[in-house]
Chain A
Amino acid sequence: MTLKIDRQAYYWPALFGFAILFFANFVANPIFVSHDNWRPVLLGAAPFIITTWAQTVPIMSGNGDLDLSVGPLAGLVNAIAAVTLPSLGLTDPFSMITIALGIGVASGLLNGFLVTIVRVQPIIATLGTFLTYQGLTLEVLPTAGGSAPPWMRVISGESFGVPGIVWVFVIIAVLWWLLGKTAYRRNLLAVGGDIRAAYTAGVNVTAVRIVAFVIAGVLASVTGLVFTATLGSADPTVGAPYILTSIAGVALGGVAFSGGRGGLLGAAAGGALLFLIENLFSLAQVSIYYIQIAYGSILLAALALNSITDRIRRRKAAAALV
């Protein structure tokens, strides 16, 4: 379960694509890599990357699991953090972070419960929560407004020459790495790989899938806090676009939609890729509508690539069984 250099690893195409687009951005605008530009670039990329991470975990648990509510949940947390909590006088970091993450856990439990216990199709169950969160967000905050407490500059600002958002990435990566040291990652890959094999071997498949949704919820909430810090306020429309990009990012990241293969490295590259494309489009001053077309096409291309590599892998596995 350790990180080894493996040429066959799922994340290489994503890293390769990332490298190419990074270079393209640099060519289009050499300032892109300048030190002053790091902070805004990373803050812009953060919602892409963190929502993709959130999406990755349920998708890795297979069985059609995915979470359409990650974007809207991030938007809801953004509204609550910038409007509701300040109105209640809760602006200290501890309360805000605890409440935000608590909302994420609750949302994950709800989605997981609907999917594994009530057995609603994941795409329908999370479509339901997605619409609910959208409605709640507009209830809390009909138009853009609210304000971020000053401590959030830790995230949006810079300390010791390092953008604060980097620490958010590092904390998530370290926690994921630690999770990989526990039994959870193996259980997750097993449930995603073949739920019957996992179940008969004695894995608590329901718990594994619910926890996957909880991780998605928590990461979506983190995105909500990042929105708050970046915008300095809240915007009810900020979350929804990240539903599509989180799924596209997962596909670009080489994570198998059938489950059982993937990780945060590929997903990060996949999410970052989408940001780089958007950035490239805005540098070229292309209309925002074309970005939608590009995302849609990229999603389809990534899914096609995903299924082709899946087929090649399966053929190789079959050849080994001769």
Chain B
Amino acid sequence: MNQADFLHIVMPFKDKVFRLAKRLLVSNEEAEDATQEILLKLWSKKEQIENYANVEAFTMTMTKNFCLDRLKSKQANNLKLVHSNYKDESVSLQKQVEAKDSMSWMARIMEKLPEQQKMVLQLRDIEQYEFEEIGKMLNMKPTAIRVALSRARKAIREELIKKHNYGVS
């Protein structure tokens, strides 16, 4: 397998890997490092890739494990305190200030969720995977996914309503 073949396989989901990593690690730099690491790991295993039934699900599982390991390690905990990149410049520059504000607010709400809910929400509402696929990636049963997802969505709703009632972020 040469570089072009590899990129052909990896391209469609490399952004998803990055977004899941960023959801878990929050820091942009950390997420980029993690994504690079995962792509290099895949590259080193490129001969076996063809044997995997579902490379994308396999990679997402790898990403999940890698990021959770990072979070566990001390190093990542230190970094977590430093970051503060809630805004995504490429997109929000075109948006109004108010919209930008609510974006960063949403990001902060999501950051407060437990890791499992974060992942489920990320994979479902942002990447729009089917429950079955999410189950493969996170090694969870569909019912468990449903429960986690419902909790995550309701938690966000609660925060949003709170904000509405007090008018403060």
Q: Do A and B come from one complex?
A: no
Question: Interface on B for A, CB 8 Å cutoff?
Answer: none
